[in-house]
Amino acid sequence: MTSLHQYTAASISGGEFDFSKLKGKKVMLVNVASECGYTSQYEQLEELYQNTSREFFEIVAFPSNQFGGQEPGSNEEIAKFCATKFQVTFPLMAKISVVGSEQHEIYQFLTKASINGTQDSTVKWNFQKFLVDEKGQVVESIPSGVLPIADEIVNWING
């Protein structure tokens, strides 16, 4: 069975991020943008990250410019924005495509039941969240408008 732990992605600061190191942890993957109405969710993402043990939970963010051109910056500009405006400390990946013909393989895994074995999903906008369990299996897709610190997410992490 395919799992998140089989993948790697380019880190925003260079190098590869190996998702196999997240075995045994719950993971939230989120596509982000710096000029979106939901950009303030970076604050709640960081709050959640700071208030949850790294031993059990991880957040991984993927900048994407595919919705409304709301992430036009370079990887360096995005990293600086996240660090200075929101003091982001969770892992940021290099900018990718989350939909369409150039969709990154991790987002193919997250959105296609034929790959993930559980559900089909469509990434509809920035700050859509995917919850992945300790075994690397997709559990749920959470819409952009749901805050990262919503009860349904916090209860899942702590459950």
- Which residues are annotated as catalytic? 36
Q: Which residues pair with 60 in a beta bridge?
A: 29
DSSP at 7: -
Let me know: does 133 contact 139? Beta carbons within 8 Å.
yes
d(CA 34, CA 62): 11
User: By the 8 A CB rule, do 42 and 59 touch?
Assistant: no
